[in-house]
Amino acid sequence: MNKKKLILLFLPMFALTGLIVFNACKNADPKTNGIANAGLTLPGGFSAVAIAEHLGNPRHMVITPENDIYVHLAGTKNGKGILVLHEDGDKVTVKSSFASFGGTGIAIKNGYLYASNNTEVYRYKLNDKEEVINPDQPERIVKGLLSHRMHEPKAIALDNDGNIYVNIGAYSNICSDYDHNKTGCPILDSAAGIWQFKADKPDQTYGDGIRYAGGLRNVVGLAWNQQDNQLFVMQHGRDALHDLFPNLYSVHQSAELPAECMFALKKGDNAGWPYVYYDWMQNKNMLGPEYGGDGKKGADPKFINPVAAYPGHYAPDGLLFYTGNQFPEKYKNGAFIAFHGSWNRAPEPQAGYCVVFQPFKNGMPYGKWEVFADGFAGPDKSPNGAEHRPCGLAQGPDGSLYISDDQRGTIYKITYKN
């Protein structure tokens, strides 16, 4: 009946930093109108609410057992790059904000909050409620990582043995600016891979860490799989197969290829960028056209194959292994992938802009992926027209799934009820 609640609350404020009180958007009767489930379409039994909006450009998130949500903003808002939301029932407040830097990577491990900007990783000691003790004095763990205006975000993940894994993206589509004579891409020594550092050692840089896995063009979504104690990453595949090789690739092939790939990494693995790409339609690792490929020749088997592959240019920005008990059994230990959505499938329609579920069995992808949450973009699936773009994923203490939108600053909460 009362379809629009009016603003009810006037809260006098004298704090130095703004306090935002959200009355969490209640999930409407799905029959009432088009914005049930906060505009998302979900499998049966699932529902969505937008617990916060207009937060800036939230990227990755992590949630504590006390229902604090640490949200890393792409840039700073009011000079702060990390927001702390607190969820109490259906009420969400912005509890505090800190960090002088924006960025993507954020994670909690062994009593510390880790967060990255485009060149560094910091950590903040947490108290027994997983609150940051001293927000103005983080400890710098990693410094001096390359950032050349392309694929800059340093997404992070931590293992159970005291290591942190940091993506250092390639500052090039396919290395053609740096490998004119095709003698070997020279930027692979310091970019296009996942570097491993100690999680507790200050001011490490390249010489202190190791290149854990290479030949990865750019990784934003990555996660440590606790089931088989292994790092999984989502690679953003190369662009412009048709633009650069119109005789070898049609416009349509260039939209669908190469696959966006999920790799299960072991130390020393090489995923092959820029020399290879994966063709999800042929299920084949291919020799890249810059290095003698013709759309048919396979890649050198020394390069690892992906463990799962998805359509081209979907832009996987978030990866989460679901370990909660709230969702039905099939989701347990499977992977959610947030696809930010494409920009380089033009002139074909753009695609992605969804969260996908990838079933797993025994720690490996098992069966076909499915779209789990869609509708973020609204009527226009394009980078400018999309109303929302999914980016970060986090699991709440009750097993709910949280999705950030870095286009309009929405945080979605997905719950399941029988």
Whose Cβ is closer to other proteins: residue 248's or residue 346's? 346
**C-beta of 214: minimal distance to other proteins in Å?**
22
Q: Which residues contribute to the site for other proteins (CB under 8 A)?
A: 2-26, 28, 32-36, 38-39, 50, 53-54, 74, 149-150, 152, 177, 240, 243, 343-344, 346-347, 378-380, 382-385, 387, 407
Whose Cβ is closer to other proteins: residue 24's or residue 307's? 24
The answer to whether 126 and 84 have CB atoms below 8 angstroms apart is no
User: Would strands 269-270 and 210-214 be described as parallel, antiparallel, or unpaired?
Assistant: parallel
**C-beta of 49: minimal distance to other proteins in Å?**
8
How many other β-carbons are positioned within 10 Å of the β-carbon of residue 5? 9
Whose Cβ is closer to other proteins: residue 37's or residue 196's? 37
Residues linked to residue 158 through DSSP beta bridges, in sequence order: 164
Please give the structure tokens belonging to residue 162: 């005291």
**C-beta of 142: minimal distance to other proteins in Å?**
22
Please give the structure tokens belonging to residue 304: 């690892």
Sheet holding 308-310, edge to edge: 219-225, 230-235, 260-265, 308-310
**C-beta of 43: minimal distance to other proteins in Å?**
20
Q: Give the C-alpha separation, 167 to 395, whole Å.
A: 22
**C-beta of 353: minimal distance to other proteins in Å?**
13
Instruction: Specify the residue for token string 């703004």.
Output: 18
Find the helix or strand (DSSP H, E) in which 85 lies: strand 80-88
> E strands along 280-374, which residues?
284-287, 308-310, 316-321, 335-339, 354-358, 360-361, 364-365, 370-373
Whose Cβ is closer to other proteins: residue 133's or residue 150's? 150
The answer to whether 56 and 73 have CB atoms below 8 angstroms apart is yes
**C-beta of 188: minimal distance to other proteins in Å?**
19
